[in-house]
Structure 1
Amino acid sequence: VLDILVQSHRNAKAARRFFDRLVTQFGEPRVVVTDKLRSYTKPVQALAPDADHRAHKGLNNRIENSHRPTRKREKIMGRFKSPRQAQRFLSAHDQINTIFRPRRYKLSARSWRHARADAFCLWSDYTAEMTA
């Protein structure tokens, strides 16, 4: 997950706003994976004409599964009170979640333990820096 932008509509204008933000931050992508919503095709073609746009039923599963912990957390919190609160939480949550949840299927047990230990060291250094 590169970024999350909470918007009230899922139309071409909203897709262009989100995709424009990603292209300026990360550069033009090689591949874009979305769900099958038709309003995504024009913004992707306009902002990244050389990118391979893949909109297939099964390809989006990885993206949807990465949002599962967010949905679980949201349910526990009793839903978000406003879109602004959701945006603030999700922007921070995804960055932290990426650090603490290394891709287990790519790592051996020893490597995974080291990655987790590194994440906790990084987090303790970061929090110490913020409180100082």
Structure 2
Amino acid sequence: KAYYKWRIDETYIKIKGKWSYLYRAIDAEGHTLDIWLRKQRDNHSAYAFIKRLIKQFGKPQKVITDQAPSTKVAMAKVIKAFKLKPDCHCTSKYLNNLIEQDHRHIKVRKTRYQSINTAKNTLKGIECIYALYKKNRRSLQIYGFSPCHEISIMLAS
């Protein structure tokens, strides 16, 4: 199953003139599993994000990340805490190209966000719209990040 192979990466965006970090996870087919906006880029944030993914989707067979030190430390903690196979974590600059290219629709926007809540809601909206373009996205019920559900929440508020 595609959702047992994850690609995790973080990118940065500016909110009120300060850098914030957007953690994103996609599966082997390129579908967004989850996004999480944090003020810091450290091993605690990365660990909390990966732990959140495991609670939502179960243990992955393979996790591909970039070579960021914070992610390496977080994955070492996750492997120990959740008793994953030691070889389930792979760090590669080139294997993570799929998620790096997936960041482009967020990075293209030169919007300056005035608050973390505005940024979070806007980024969720962008993710929802792009998720609708991805193949078979509406019919998949296994994912926690459902674009149709997110859009209905945004329209209700």
- Calculate the TM-score normalised by the size of structure 2: 0.57
1:89 aligned to 2:122?
Answer: yes
| Contact 1:33/1:59, CA 8 A, preserved across alignment | yes
Structure 1 partner of 2:19: none
Q: Which amino acid aligns with 2:93?
A: K
Give deviations 1:51-70, integer Å, cap 9, x for gaps: 61111111111101011112
Report runs of 4+ in structure 1 exceeding 3 Å deviation: none
Q: Which moved more, 1:78-87 or 1:55-64?
A: 78-87
Question: Identical aligned pairs, as a percentage?
Answer: 30
Structure 1 partner of 2:66: 35
| Contact 1:36/1:55, CA 8 A, preserved across alignment | yes
Structure 1 partner of 2:144: none
Q: How does 1:1-132 map to 2 (within 5 A)?
A: 1=26, 2-48=33-79, 49-50=84-85, 52-72=88-108, 74-75=109-110, 78-102=111-135
- Alignment length (residue pairs): 108
Q: Which amino acid aligns with 1:57?
A: K
Where does the alignment leave 5 or more consecutive residues of structure 2 unmatched?
Answer: 1-25, 27-32, 140-147
Structure 2 partner of 1:111: none
Q: Which amino acid aligns with 1:12?
A: N
Q: Which amino acid aligns with 1:87?
A: K
| Contact 1:3/1:91, CA 8 A, preserved across alignment | no
Q: Which amino acid aligns with 1:6?
A: L
Q: Secondary structure at the match of 1:4?
A: strand
Q: Which structure features the higher share of helix residues? A: 1
Where does the alignment leave 5 or more consecutive residues of structure 1 unmatched?
Answer: 103-114
Q: Distance in 2 between matches of 1:14 and 1:22?
A: 12
CA RMSD of aligned residues (A): 2.8
Q: Which amino acid aligns with 2:95?
A: L
- Calculate the TM-score normalised by the size of structure 1: 0.67
Q: CA deviation at 1:43?
A: 2.4
| Contact 1:23/1:47, CA 8 A, preserved across alignment | no
Q: Distance in 2 between matches of 1:37 and 1:64?
A: 14
Q: CA deviation at 1:81?
A: 1.9
